[in-house]
Amino acid sequence: MSADPTEHQAVSYETVTYETDGRVATVTLNRPEKLNAISMQLQAELIAALEEAEADPGIHVAVVQGAGRAFSAGYDITVGGTGGGGVTGDRDGLERIMRGWLRIWDLRLAVVAKVHGYCLAGGTQLATICDITFVSDDCRVGTPQLPLGAGYVGSAWTWLVGPKKAKEMFFPTGEMITGAEAADWGLFNRSVPAGDLDTAVADYVAKVARTPKEIIALQKQSANRIQEIQGFREAMLQSVEIDAIAHASKPVKAINAHIRENGLQDALRAFQAGEIP
Pairing of strands 24-29, 16-21: antiparallel
Q: Which domain holds residue 211?
A: 8-272
In a domain, 139, yes or no: yes
In a domain, 2, yes or no: no
Give per-residue pLDDT as tens, 120-170.
999 999 999 999 999 999 999 999 999 999 999 999 999 999 999 999 999
Local structure of residue 69 (DSSP, 8 states): T
Pairing of strands 61-66, 140-142: unpaired
Please determine, for residue 5, whether its predicted confidence score (pLDDT) is greater than 50: no
pTM of the model: 0.93
Integer angstrom CA distances of residue 265 from 169, 207, 215, 257, 268: 22, 43, 48, 13, 5
In a domain, 31, yes or no: yes
Give per-residue pLDDT as tens, 235-256.
999 999 999 999 999 999 999 9
Q: What is the CATH number for 156?
A: 3.90.226.10
Please determine, for residue 38, whether its predicted confidence score (pLDDT) is greater than 60: yes
Total domains present in the chain: 1
In a domain, 183, yes or no: yes
| Confidence band for 10, pLDDT divided at 50, 70 and 90 | low
Rounded-to-integer distance, Cα 38 and Cα 34, Å? 9
Rounded-to-integer distance, Cα 178 and Cα 193, Å? 12
In a domain, 71, yes or no: yes
In a domain, 1, yes or no: no
Local structure of residue 29 (DSSP, 8 states): E
| Confidence band for 78, pLDDT divided at 50, 70 and 90 | confident
| Confidence band for 80, pLDDT divided at 50, 70 and 90 | low
